[in-house]
Structure 1
Amino acid sequence: MTCIALTSEMILPHEPEALLVGRVWSKAQDGPCLVLVRNAHVLDITPLGPTMSALLERQDLVATLQAGSFQNLGSLDSFLDGSAGQLLAPVDLQAVKAAGVTFADSMLERVIEEQARGDASRALEIRQRLAPVIGDNLKGVAAGSEKAAQVKALLQEMNLWSQYLEVGIGPDAEIFTKSQPMSSVGCGAEVGIHPISEWNNPEPEVVLSVRSDGTIIGATLGNDVNLRDVEGRSALLLGKAKDNNASCSIGPFIRLFDDRFTLEELGQVRVSLLVEGEDGFQMTGESAMSAISRSPANLAGQLLNRNHQYPDGAVLFLGTMFAPVKDRRGKGQGFTHEVGDRVEIATPRLGRLVNWVNRSDACPPWTFGSTALFQNLARRGLL
């Protein structure tokens, strides 16, 4: 597998003043550290935490980070080239949740998966048949609105209603567990595709960081790696389609909201996707957050409320903006990953998340969980 060298210039947001927090494995500290990224250097803010979930609960966090002076662990480039350590996902004890079917294009593709029963060879024919009907009706429809109810009635009359459309434009969002706390991988790591899958894809998404009280405090990028053939066979296989070794990537850093970057501005970003294979295959795309069918605040409110709490906070994938359909293995076969693919998910305001695709059973196994984290922090005198 060929991996290009990553640099700080490649992965950082285009705005030098962005307030970025994350996690690294530091060789010098022999463990995970919470970090503030400033001027392409990695500053140790672990004493403020010592876990990311605890750090993000601080009400004075933005002011403390803006005014504070912290130990320099080295340049960001030294963590990207491995000499000082490596980047980790910028989350630890938080619940890792995801919202599904929140963009019109992905709604249509989920219906196609359902109709195809996981058979990629049938997708093109079904797409050509359904897109002019379902796709046109979904354009500009706000979830839970009167217009959405009218579309539902119309599609039911045509026998085209689907469980995916119910969560896509109905009153209740699909919120599911993407992966377990501590299991996500970070920028520069391998992402895993289960070896049983022959039809799968990256899902480029914006990811919210949410405090235990429901306050949305920042955002990052994520890859909700998905097995289309597995979920297409049955929606009840969602766990097998979504939660596998290294199947969740988050990063590179959480950008905290401040007077330079707000939740409202997040709603206007455009997210790009690039997939490049060792076979010379290339696929690109770009989508706008403004096309989402539910607001980020609405989705966060459906995630965390009086009926459902997350005392360690949560991160919430906001849904994929599109499902790749460019043919790869043959005409009408659509897109699927191959081992060695480089996947880049980017937006100028949040940076660039880069990963390489491997089989989930070939990616490094997940061994550092919550128990290991607390043992490590205790040994270092941080608890």
Structure 2
Amino acid sequence: MIRTVRYWDPETHAVHLGLLRDGQVYSITRRVPAFTDPLPVWYTFRALDLSVEEGFARLVDGVQPMASYEELAAQSALLPPVDAREVWAAGVTYERSRQARNAETKLQDSVYDRVYEAARPEIFFKATRERVIAPGQPLGLRSDSAWMVPEPELSLVLTAAGDIVGWTLGDDLSSRDIEGENPLYLPQAKVFSRSCSFGPVLLWNTGAEVPAGWTLTLTIRRGGDIAFQGSVSLQQLRRPFEELVAYLRRDNPVLDGTVLMTGTGIVPPDEFTLQPGDTVDIELPEIGVLRNPIAAPLGK
């Protein structure tokens, strides 16, 4: 299992890419200063015909750990694990998501029913680099929404050619009342300041991982208590990754390092909405825990 993190190093005043091994972080950037992001590393391994395992073994040979993962998290030094200029997302890829969208609209035979069964998936734009929040940093609620929830999603990190470099965890913070009022309001329900986080690590695609066997868990804490908790097996994901990637790239050039969120199968009950001070944990043992507190809308 190969996992990397990106973090801010106060000693060098620079972004570093690090290999996470046994809780310790080994700086790859100290060995190769140009390697501050996973994509150049991925292309280098391909050019040298190196496996991911062999490539990283060479990069950290003789390197001493810089810090523990816990230390970097405690220092708020963790960054998104890839410098993604764009984040996209797929919707209604789980039965639970279809149920929730129908509850919002209160319609039978809704657009969500039809897209769930259709050949073409729902693909939408989620965030630019500037709207992405680092692990541990606060996501922000919309000022004009009274019904907001996190959407925990396994997320793909892609090359421009559509190769899956690896996986991370994503939080597609969403307004259910705005989207439920009218599906055409989807961009406003999804794209706003501090609406997206992904991380904390990148699990590299070595060909040995089996995502269908993974289980994703969402835990929302409020005042020290668990306000909501739910889990979903990725076996319930209706569409294969390759199909989602293919539709994303149809007549739509994607950038190296693009993140594609694959949809949510965990939705809190209809009476639940996030509040400032809540903490959202999205956990997958193979990747780790993406944790973000929830903040009030800007200006409040």
Task: Confirm or deny a common fold (TM above 0.5).
Answer: yes
- Tell whether the 8 Å contact from 1:91 to 1:182 is kept in structure 2 after alignment: no
* Cα distance between partner residues in 1 of 2:188 and 2:168: 25
- Tell whether the 8 Å contact from 2:51 to 2:206 is kept in structure 1 after alignment: no
- Tell whether the 8 Å contact from 1:53 to 1:313 is kept in structure 2 after alignment: yes
* Cα distance between partner residues in 2 of 1:214 and 1:172: 18
- Gapped regions of structure 1 (runs ≥ 5): 1-17, 117-159, 326-332, 364-383
User: 2:102 — aligned with what?
Assistant: 111
1:41 maps to a residue whose letter is Q
Q: Is 1:312 matched with 2:256? A: yes
RMSD: 2.1
User: 1:102 — aligned with what?
Assistant: 93
- Among 179, 188, 201, the residue aligned to 2:149: 201
- Tell whether the 8 Å contact from 1:51 to 1:93 is kept in structure 2 after alignment: no
* Cα distance between partner residues in 1 of 2:181 and 2:22: 48
- Among 288, 295, 298, the residue aligned to 1:351: 288
Matches within 5 A, 1:15-164: 18-46=1-29, 47-58=33-44, 59=46, 60=50, 62=52, 63-69=54-60, 70=63, 72-82=65-75, 86-115=77-106, 160-164=108-112
Q: Deviations over 1:212-264 (max 9, x none)?
A: 111112111111111101111222222221122221110110100225x42xx
- Tell whether the 8 Å contact from 1:53 to 1:93 is kept in structure 2 after alignment: no
TM-score (norm 1): 0.71
TM-score (norm 2): 0.89
User: 1:249 — aligned with what?
Assistant: 197
- Tell whether the 8 Å contact from 1:53 to 1:92 is kept in structure 2 after alignment: no
User: 1:301 — aligned with what?
Assistant: 246
Deviation of residue 54 (structure 1)? 3.4
- Among 250, 267, 271, the residue aligned to 2:216: 271
* Cα distance between partner residues in 2 of 1:192 and 1:167: 29
Q: Is 1:231 matched with 2:141? A: no
Instruction: Evaluate the alpha carbon distance shift between residue 237 and residue 323 of structure 1 in structure 2; reply closer, same or farther with a 3 A threshold.
Output: same
* Cα distance between partner residues in 2 of 1:77 and 1:50: 20
1:270 maps to a residue whose letter is T
2:19 maps to a residue whose letter is L
* Cα distance between partner residues in 1 of 2:39 and 2:86: 10
Segments of 4+ moved more than 4 angstroms: none
- Among 254, 262, 271, the residue aligned to 1:334: 271
Of all paired residues, the percent bearing the same amino acid is 29
* Cα distance between partner residues in 2 of 1:362 and 1:56: 41
Number of matched pairs: 290
Aligned-partner SS, 2:171: strand
Instruction: Say which structure is richer in strand.
Output: 2
Deviation of residue 196 (structure 1)? 1.8
Deviation of residue 171 (structure 1)? 0.9
Aligned-partner SS, 1:43: strand
Instruction: Evaluate the alpha carbon distance shift between residue 67 and residue 55 of structure 1 in structure 2; reply closer, same or farther with a 3 A threshold.
Output: closer
User: 1:126 — aligned with what?
Assistant: none
- Among 233, 248, 263, the residue aligned to 1:288: 233
* Cα distance between partner residues in 1 of 2:175 and 2:145: 6
- Gapped regions of structure 2 (runs ≥ 5): none
